[in-house]
Amino acid sequence: MTSELDIFVGNTTLIDEDVYRLWLDGYSVGDAVALRVRSGILEQTGATAAVLQSDTMDHYRTFHMLERLLHAPPKLLHQLIYQIPPSRQALLIERYYAFDEAFVREVLGKKLSKGTKKDLDDISTKTGITLKSCRRQFDNFKRVFKVVEEMRGSLVDNVQQHFLLSDRLARDYAAIVFFANNRFETGKKKLQYLSFGDFAFCAELMIQNWTLGAVDSQVDDMDMDLDKEFLQDLKELKVLVADKDLLDLHKSLVCTALRGKLGVFSEMEANFKVCGLIQLLSLGPLQPPVHCPTGQLCSCPGLTSRWRCCPPFARLTGGSLLLNTGELFN
Amino acid sequence: MPGKLKVKIVAGRHLPVMDRASDLTDAFVEVKFGNTTFKTDVYPKSLNPQWNSEWFKFEVDDEDLQDEPLQITVLDHDTYSANDAIGKVYIDIDPLLYSEAATVISGWFPIYDTIHGIRGEINVVVKVDLFNDLNRFRQSSCGVKFFCTTSIPKCYRAVIIHGFVEELVVNEDPEYQWIDRIRTPRASNEARQRLISLMSGELQRKIGLKVLEMRGNAVVGYLQCFDLEGESGLVVRAIGTACTLDKLSSPAAFLPACNSPSKEMKEIPFNEDPNPNTHSSGPSTPLKNQTYSFSPSKSYSRQSSSSDTDLSLTPKTAPYPQGPRIYLCPSSPSLSCGSLHLKKSCLLLSESSLPPHHSSLVSPVLRKSVSFSEELFLAASGMGSGSAGKEGGPFKALLRQQTQSALEQRGGSPHRFCRRREFPFFTLTAFPPGFLVHVGGVVSARSVKLLDRIHNPDEPETRDAWWAEIRQEIKSHAKALGCHAVVGYSESTSICEEVCILSASGTAAVLNPRFLQDGTVEGCLEQRLEENLPAGCGFCHIPYDELNMPFPAHLTYCYNCRKQKVPDVLFTTIDLPTDATVIGKGCLIQARLCRLKKKAQAEANATAISNLLPFMEYEVHTQLMNKLKLKGMNALFGLRIQITVGENMLMGLASATGVYLAALPTPGGIQIAGKTPNDGSYEQHISHMQKKINDTIAKNKELYEINPPEISEEIIGSPIPEPRQRSRLLRSQSESSDEVTELDLSHGKKDAFVLEIDDTDAMEDVHSLLTDVPPPSGFYSCNTEIMPGINNWTSEIQMFTSVRVIRLSSLNLTNHALNKNFNDLCENLLKSLYFKLRSMIPCCLCHVNFTVSLPEDELIQVTVTAVAITFDKNQALQTTKAHVEKSLQRASTDNEELLQFPLELCSDSLPSHPFPPAKAVTVEKTSPMGEGNFRNRSAAPCANSTVGVVKMTPLSFIPGAKITKYLGIINMFFIRETTSLREEGGVSGFLHAFIAEVFAMVRAHVAALGGNAVVSYIMKQCVFMENPNKNQAQCLINVSGDAVVFARESELEVVSTQQPAANCQPACTGGEVTT
C-alpha cells in the first residue's frame, strides 16, 4: 500500500511556524521530519512518523506554492487563492525575508550577480547554512535590490512599501542594497570583526548624510548613490587618515572644543577613532547637519568651513572604522 | 418575460504575462450571455488593466436568465495571430433573480483557465432589472429560493412543508462527442463546464416550476448531483423539499395569504396515501376519509392488524381536532418498536446488445430485463438476540411480496397519479420542534443498472423510471415500518464503466401532519399541548405495531417516560433532534468493508455486483452494530452508507454519529464465544479477548462520559404495568405472556450480543474492532451538524478537504488484505487530521463526510470534508453536567420558547432589504478585521489588504454568529487539466492547487454577492484521473452551498439598535409569490 496522493486543504491556510522555519532553513522533507521527531512532537501528540511525514510534505507543498507570492508580498495580500489572516501573512513575509547574520556578512558589498550566486556553495560550506537557504537569502537580496534600484524616494520606505517588511528589516535591507550598490568591500580581514549591525548603522548614517537624497529629495536613486561632489570633498579628509600628526591635532582640537560639554567625554576621548568615524559618517553636505546637539563647528585643518561636525552621541561601541574608511574610499 | 442584464467590466489585476517580449499583456474582455457578445477595448501593455467599460446590456427572457451563466472571457490581443485566451469567469446570476437575495454582484473574480488554473482577477459588476409580474410565469420560476441547507434556514419560518421535488436532465457528454477528437483539451473542458452550468440552471428552473405548482416558494435541502455516465451521457439530477417559507422579520399579516392556498392543499403535502390510485377521489377528497384504513399496510402485515384498534392505540395522534386525517400512521404509530430496518434490493435491468438499427425505435420493448429482487432485511436488534448468527437469517424475503403487492395496487390507474404526492420524502435532516413524531429506522434501497445510451435527451425516461422504482421501494419499506414518511432522504450513484449502482436511503418516520399543512406557531403549540409528548424521547417510540413487527427486535418501555415502547437500538439518517436527551458525548462510528469481485463485462458484471451487495450490506451493519456496542452507545444519527463499485472490487463505507439516548435501554456488552470449546489455550485466548473488549467498552464509556443514571431493577419493573393500563395498548391474547417475556429479554439481553469466533476471519474482525483508536484527548468527531453533549462553541472554525489515494499492490489482493488497507487508509487519514488541527484543541470535527471512489484498478481514493470547531472546555464541563437536566427542563419551557422564538429573531435579524444596516455589517465583516487578529500584526504595513474573509462550513450555521441573510445558492463545477503534471508538483501538487483554487472561486463569488460565509457547503464530486506516463492529470470538482451574510452576535446588538425603522420594511416577496 503506497500513498499516491495525500493532501489537506483548509479554507484558512494552515501555517505551522516550526515547519516553516525548517523549510526556510532549507531542510529536505526527510531531514525536517527527522528534526521534528527529535523535537519530541510524536510523544506530545501521540502521532506516528507516517502522520508527521504526511503533515510535513503537506506544509512544504503549501510553502512551495506560497513562495511565488512571497516574491512580491503585496500579491500575497491581494491574492484570493489562499485565505490567510493578516497576522499570518505578516509572519510569512517577515520570516521569508529574514536572513542569517553569517550569510549576510559574506555577501555584503558584493555584486549581486550570477557570479556571486555560483559561490554560494562555498558560503554554505563555510557558514553551515544550507545551500537552499543561502539561495533564498541571496535571491531575496537580489530581488529587493532590483525592485528598489531605480526608484525615487526614501530607500527604506521603498523597501517597506514593496516588500511589506517591518521597519527594522526594511532598514537592514536598505543597508544591504546600499552596500551592494556602492560595492563597499566588507570582506577584508581588517573588517572581519565587525558585525552586520555595525555596517547597517554606518549605512544608515551614510544614506542620511552622504547620498544624493541628502541634498535633493527629488532625484532618482537618491538614497543609493553618493553625492559625487561630496565624495570629492571627502578626499580632503584623507589627510586625517594618512598623517598621524594631523590626526592627533584633530583629536586635540575636537577634545578641547568638546571638553566639559559632553557627558560621555572620557569615553569619546578613549575611543576617538571610533567616534571619529561616526563623526565622519554624520558629516554631510546638508546644512546644518542632522544631529548636532552641540552645534559645535569644528575647525580642523584640511576641513573646509562648510563641514560641521557632530559630536558622537550614540553608539560609542559602534566599531572603529576610521582607518578603514580610508580604504573604503580608495 | 424579459429582463435586462447589465454588466460592467471595471478592471483586472495580476494578469499573467502574455507577451514575452514586453513582459506585459494587451488584455480585453468578451462578455457573453446567451448568443450575444460584447467586447471591451483593448487595454494595452498592462498587467493591471483598467477597462472601466460602459454598461453592457442584454435583453433576455427570464428563462434564459435562469438557465444561462454569464460568461466573461479575458483575452490577450494579438495583432498578427489569433487572440490568446487568458481565462474565463462564469457567473451564475440566479441570486439576482429573487429580490430577497443579492441585488448586485460586484467584486473581484479569479480568472480561471482549465489548463493553467487561476490567472489573475477581474472586477465585474452585474445587475438585473426584471420587469416581471411574478404570477405569469410559465417556463421560468424566478423567485423560488433554493437552499442547500437541510433544515429550515435560520432567518425563515416554515409555513408549509410541501414535500418532495425531483428532476433530472440528461445530455451527451461533450468529452465523448466526436468533435472532442479534434478540439483542444481546453475547448473540450470549457464545453463541458458550460454545458453543466446550463444543465444545472435548467434543472433548477424546472424544479422551481414544480415548487410554484405546489404553491411553495422555496426548496430546502436542495441536492444536485452529476452522473458522469461516460459514453452514455451526462445526467444532472436534483432532489429537494418544497416549502413555503416566511421571512421571520415580515409582519404576521402575511400569514393568511400564505395560508389560503395551503388550506386548499391541505391534503396535498401529506397525502400519505401509499397508493393514491385506490382512491377514486381526486386530491381534495381523501381527507374526509374518516378511519383511513390503510389497506396496503394490512396487506403486508401478515399478522392481523385492524385499523380500528389503531385508533384506540394512538392516544398521541388521535386528538387532532380536525378529525382523523390522512396522517395516519396506519397500523400503530404508538407502539411497537424498531431498531434498524435495513433493506436492500437489487434490481438489475440489463440490456442485451441490440442491433443499432432497432434501438431507436423498439428498444424499450425489446429490452430484455432481468430483475432480481433480493430483499435483505437486517434487523439489528435481531442480531442482538444472539440466536441469529451469520448463518442465521439475515436474508428474509419478507418484504418481497409486500413490495409486489404494493406495486400491483399501484399499477392500477396511473392517470390519477399526482406526481408530487407520490413520494412522501423529505430531504431535511433537522426539523422544527414538534415536526417529527416517531422514527422507525433506516430504509434504503439499491439497484444495479446497466447504462445504455440515452437516445433522446428530452425524454430521459429510463433514468426517471430507475429512480421512480427505487423511491417506490423506499416508500414501501417505510410503510412496513409503520411510517408514512421518509426524512433525511438522499440519493446517490456509483458508476464504473457501464454498471451503475443507484442508492437511496432515508429514515422512516411519522410526522406531525399539522406542520405539513400550516405550520403556524399556534397550531404547533396546540398540538404539543394536546399530545403532551414526553420531550426528548417521543421520537424514539416505535411507530409500528408491536405484534406485527416487520423484523425481530427487542422492545422495552421507554427509559424516559416509561409509557411507550422503544427499540434497543435506533439507526437514523437525520441529525439528532434538538430536544433529544443524550447522555455524554457522541462519536464518529465508521464501518469499512471491501469485497473483491471478478472483472466482468456488462450483464455478468452487474449480476456479480448484485450478488455481492446483500452480503456487503449485512457486514456493514454488523460492523456498525459491533462498534456501537463497543462504544457503549445505543443510537446512530446521520448514517450514510456508501457503496462504491470499481472494476475489481466493491467498497462499502458507512459513517454515522453514535450517541447514548437516554430513552433507549443501556446496550449490552459484546460476548465472544468460541466454536471449539475443548481447546484450552483457545479458551484462554477467547477470555483474553473478552477482557479486552470489556475494557474497551469501559474505557469508551468514560471517554464519552456515558454514565446513565442507574436504574434499579425494581424501577424498571414497576412502572410498566401502569402505563400498560393507561395506554390501553395491549391486545387481549398477548397481554400477560408477551409482556413478561419481553421483560425477561430486556434484562437478559444485557450481555446477549454474541460474537462467534469460528475461524480466523472472525478473529480478525474482532481484532479490527479493537484497533480503532479513539481521537486524541481534546478532540471529538461526528458526522452530524453538531456534537451531542457540546454546546458552547467558540467562533473559530476551519473547514477543510483532505484527499488521499493509495495504490494497492496487486500481490496481496485478498478480501482480508484489502479490508486492512482500507481500514488503515481511513484511520490514518483521521489521525492526520487530528494532528494537523491540534492547535485548535479543544475542538470537534463536525460533519465529517467521507467519500470513497475507485478511479482505477488498484487505486482507492478517499475524500474527506469536515469542519473543525473550537469549543470552550471549561464551559463544556459545566454544560455537560447540566445538559441532561437542561434538556429535561426544556420540555416545560419549550412552549414559551416557541412563542418567543420568532419574536426574538424578528428583533435582531436584519430586515429583508439589504440597504443601510445590512451593508454596514457586511462591510465590516468583509474587512480583514473580522478575523480579529489585527492587533497581532507586527510592524508590517499590511493594512491595505483588501481581501475580505469568507468563512466556509458544511454546517447550516456559524457558531457565535447569526445568519442575517441568505444570498442564494452557490453551485459550481470546475474542470482542471494538466499536461505538465511533474512540473506542477505531481498529483498532490496538482490537486492541492486545484482545490485551493476552487475554494478561492467559491469565496470570491460569495464576496461578490455581498456575503461573508458559505454554509451547508458540500463537495459533491471530486473525480480525479491521472496518467503519469503521459504526465497528464484531470480533475472535476462540483461544490455547492448557501451564500449568507452573518454577523457576530455581539455586533448584532449594536446593529439592531440602529435600525428600528428598517424592521417595518414590507414583507418579503416570498409571500407574494404564493399569492
Q: Distance between CA B117 and CA B186 in Å, rounded?
A: 11
pLDDT for position B688: 81
Query: Of B184-188, B209-213, B219-223, B696-700, which has the strongest mean pLDDT?
Result: B219-223
pLDDT at A192: 79
Residue count of chain A, please give it. 330
Q: For residue B303, is pLDDT > 50?
A: no
Minimal Cα–Cα distance from A148 to chain B, Å?
17
The residue behind cell 468529452 is B175
B150 and B235 in a common domain? yes
Task: Indicate the DSSP class of residue B600.
Answer: -
Whether residue A226 contacts residue A181, with contact meaning beta carbons closer than 8 Å, is answered with no
Indicate whether B95 and B217 sit together in one domain. Answer: no
- Report CA B725 to chain centroid distance, whole Å: 42
Residue B741, pLDDT > 50, answer no
Hey, how many other C-beta atoms are within 10 angstroms of the C-beta on B290?
10
Q: With cut-offs at 50, 70 and 90, classify the pLDDT of residue B710.
A: low
Cα Dmax for chain B: 96
Q: Verify whether the Cβ–Cβ distance B947 to A79 is below 8 Å.
A: yes
Residues of A within 8 A of B958 (CB-CB) are: none
**Under an 8 A CB cutoff, do A86 and B776 touch?**
no
Task: Let me know how long chain B is.
Answer: 1075
**Residue B562, Cβ neighbours under 10 Å: how many?**
18
Confidence of residue B1015 (pLDDT cuts 50, 70, 90): very high
Name the residue among B800, B928, B1000 with its Cβ closest to that of A80.
B1000
CB contacts under 8 A, A 147-206 vs B, are 160-161, 164-168
Q: Is the pLDDT confidence value at B933 over 70?
A: no
- Inter-chain CB proximity A85 and B825 less than 8 Å: no
**B107 → chain A, closest CA residue:** A80
Last residue of a domain, one of B132, B152, B181: B132
| Complex ipTM | 0.80
According to the model, what pLDDT value does residue A241 have? 62
| Domain-terminating residue out of B132, B153, B178 | B132
Task: Evaluate whether B1059 touches B917 at the Cβ level (below 8 Å).
Answer: yes
Q: Are A64 and B800 within 8 A, CB to CB? A: no
Angstrom distance (rounded) from CA B505 to CA B484: 15
Q: What is the pLDDT of residues B826-844, one digit of tens each?
A: 989 999 999 999 888 888 9
Of B845, B871, B897, the position where a domain reaches its end is B871
Long-range contacts of range B938-941, CB-CB < 8 Å, 24 or more positions apart? B938/A87, B938/A90, B938/A91, B938/A94, B938/A166, B939/A166, B939/A167, B939/A168, B940/A90, B940/A93, B940/A94, B940/A164, B940/A165, B940/A166, B941/A160, B941/A161, B941/A164
C-alpha cell of residue B849: 463526510
Strand order in the sheet with B635-645: B570-571, B635-645, B649-661, B582-596
Closest CA–CA distance from residue B483 to any residue of chain A (Å): 41
- All residues at 6 or more sequence positions from B18 whose CB lies less than 8 Å from its CB, including other chains: B24, B25, B26, B27, B76, B84, B86
Task: Indicate if B490 and B626 belong to the same structural domain.
Answer: yes
Residue B648 predicted with pLDDT over 60 = yes
* A91-110 residues touching B, CB cutoff 8 A: 91, 93-94
Q: Residue type for A49, please? A: A
Taking a C-beta distance cutoff of 8 angstroms, is the pair B433, B894 a contact?
yes
Distance of CA A283 to the CA centre of its chain: 22
The reply to whether residue B933 touches residue A88, judged by beta carbons under 8 angstroms, is yes
Does the residue B858 lie in any domain? yes
Chain B segment 561-620 residues within 8 A of A by beta carbon are none
State the Cα–Cα distance between residues A103 and B462, nearest whole angstrom. 71
Q: Is position B975 within any domain?
A: no
For residue B1007, pLDDT over 50 is answered with yes
B1029 in contact with chain A, both atoms CB, cutoff 8 A: no
A270/B contact by beta carbon, under 8 A: no
Q: Which of B828, B859, B985 sits opposite A4 (nearest CB)?
A: B859
C-alpha cell at B920: 454596514
B442 and B559: one domain? yes
For residues B724-755, b (16+ Cβ closer than 10 Å) or e, as one string?
Answer: eeebebbeeeeeeeebeebeebbeebeebbbb
Grid-cell match 578603514, residue found: A324
Chain B: closest CA distance from residue A186 (Å)? 29
Pairs across A and B, CB distance < 8 A? 173
A127 touches chain B (CB under 8 A): no
Cβ-in-10-Å burial (0-12, 13-18, 19+) of B405 comes to middle
- Residue B841 backbone dihedrals phi, psi, to 5 degrees: -55, 135
Q: Which of B1044, B1054, B1029 is nearest to B979 (CA)?
A: B1029
CB contact under 8 A, A9 and B801: yes
Count of domains observed in chain B: 3
Set of cell numbers at residue B841: 484543541
Average pLDDT over residues B712-720: 41
Q: Is residue B553 part of a domain?
A: yes
DSSP state of B782: -
Q: What is the pLDDT of residue B992?
A: 94
Is the CB of A57 inside 8 Å of chain B's CB atoms? yes
Q: pLDDT for B314-343, tens place per residue?
A: 233 333 333 323 232 333 332 223 333 333
Q: pTM of the full predicted structure?
A: 0.77
H-state helical runs in B713-865: 713-717, 721-727, 735-748, 760-771, 815-836
Q: CB of B934 within 8 Å of any CB in chain A?
A: yes
Euclidean distance between the first and the last CA atom of chain B, given in angstroms as a whole number? 19
**B802 has pLDDT over 90:** yes
Cα of A307 to nearest chain B Cα, Å:
37
Does residue B1039 sit at the A interface (CB-CB below 8 Å)? Answer: no
Same domain, B676 and B782: yes
Q: Is A100 exposed, middle or buried (0-12, 13-18, 19+ CB in 10 A)?
A: middle
- B648 and B511, same domain (yes or no): yes
Q: Rounded distance, CA B62 to CA B213, Å?
A: 18
Residue with cell 543561502: A134
* Residue A4, min C-alpha distance to chain B (Å): 5
Interface mutation target, options B13, B14, B829, B1014, chain A, most CBs of A under 10 Å: B14
Interface test with B, best of A3, A6, A165 (most B CBs within 10 A): A6
CA geometry: angle A199, A201, A206, nearest 5 deg = 90
Q: Does A1 touch chain B (CB under 8 A)?
A: yes
**Chain B residues within 8 A of A72 when measuring between CB atoms:** none
Q: Does B1042 touch chain A (CB under 8 A)?
A: no
In Å, how far is A160's CA from the nearest CA of chain B?
8
Q: Is residue B627 domain-shared with residue B498, that is, in the same domain?
A: yes
- β-strand partners of B129: B4
Kindly state whether A40 is in contact with chain B, defined as any CB-CB distance less than 8 angstroms: no
How confident is residue B639, by pLDDT bands cut at 50, 70 and 90?
very high
Residue-by-residue pLDDT tens, chain A, 330 positions: 567 899 999 999 999 999 999 999 999 999 999 999 999 888 888 888 889 999 999 999 999 999 999 999 998 988 899 999 999 999 999 999 999 988 988 888 888 888 788 888 889 998 999 999 999 999 999 999 999 888 877 888 889 999 999 999 999 999 898 888 888 777 777 777 788 888 888 788 777 777 766 656 555 556 667 767 766 766 666 666 667 777 777 777 777 766 666 566 666 666 665 555 555 555 544 333 333 333 333 333 333 333 333 333 333 323 333 333 333 333
Residue A45 to residue B835, Cβ atoms within 8 A: yes
Instruction: Name residues 722-781 of chain B within 8 A of A (Cβ).
Output: 776
Residue B998 lies in a domain: no
Residue B507 β-bridge partners: B442, B487
Among the partner-chain residues A79, A82, A86, the one whose CB lies closest to the CB of B942 is A86
* Optimal mutation site among B800, B832, B1003, interface A, most CBs of chain A within 10 A: B832
Residue B184 lies in a domain: yes
Mean pLDDT of chain B: 70
Which residue range(s) make up the domain with B816? 436-518+536-706+750-871
CATH code of the domain covering residue B48: 2.60.40.150
* Binary contact (B928, A85; C-beta < 8 A): yes
Whether residue B504 sits in one domain with residue B636? yes
- Give the distance from residue B374's alpha carbon to the nearest chain A alpha carbon, in angstroms: 35
Are B795 and B833 part of one and the same domain?
yes
Confirm whether B175 is domain-assigned. Answer: yes
Cβ B873 vs Cβ B842: under 8 Å = yes
User: Are B599 and B648 contacting, i.e. CB atoms less than 8 angstroms apart?
Assistant: yes
What does the pLDDT read at residue B985? 87
In this predicted model, what pLDDT tens digit does every residue of B278-299 receive, in sequence order? 333 333 333 333 333 333 333 3
> Which residue in chain B is spatially nearest to A41 when comparing CA positions?
B835
Domain assignment present for residue B907? The answer is no
For A14, A76, B439, B831, B963, the CA distances from B871, given in Å and listed in that order, are 19, 31, 30, 20, 19
Is A51 close to B828, i.e. CB distance below 8 A? yes
Backbone angle region of B1045, left / alpha / beta, with phi > 0 → left and psi within -120 to 50 → alpha: beta
Inter-axis angle of helices B1049-1058 and B916-926, nearest 10: 150
pLDDT higher at B161 or A271: B161
Give the percent of chain B with pLDDT over 70: 63
Assess whether B813 and B676 both reside in one domain: yes
Q: Could you tell me whether strands B70-76 and B84-91 are parallel, antiparallel, or unpaired per DSSP bridges?
A: antiparallel
Across the strands, what pairs with B650?
Answer: B595, B645
Of A246-255, B504-513, B740-749, B942-951, where does the model show the most confidence? B504-513
Residue B936: C-alpha distances to residues A66, A88, B868, B929 (Å): 21, 9, 23, 11
Query: What percent of chain B has a predicted confidence (pLDDT) above 90?
Result: 25
Contact: A94, B832; criterion CB under 8 Å:
no
* One domain, residues B469 and B586: yes
A4 at interface of B, judged by CB pairs closer than 8 A: yes
Contact A80 B118 (CB under 8 A): yes
Q: Are residues B108 and B190 in the same domain?
A: no
Compute CA A72 distance to the chain's CA centroid, rounded to the nearest angstrom: 19
> Domain for residue B1053, yes or no?
no
Give residue B865's Cα distance to chain centre: 13
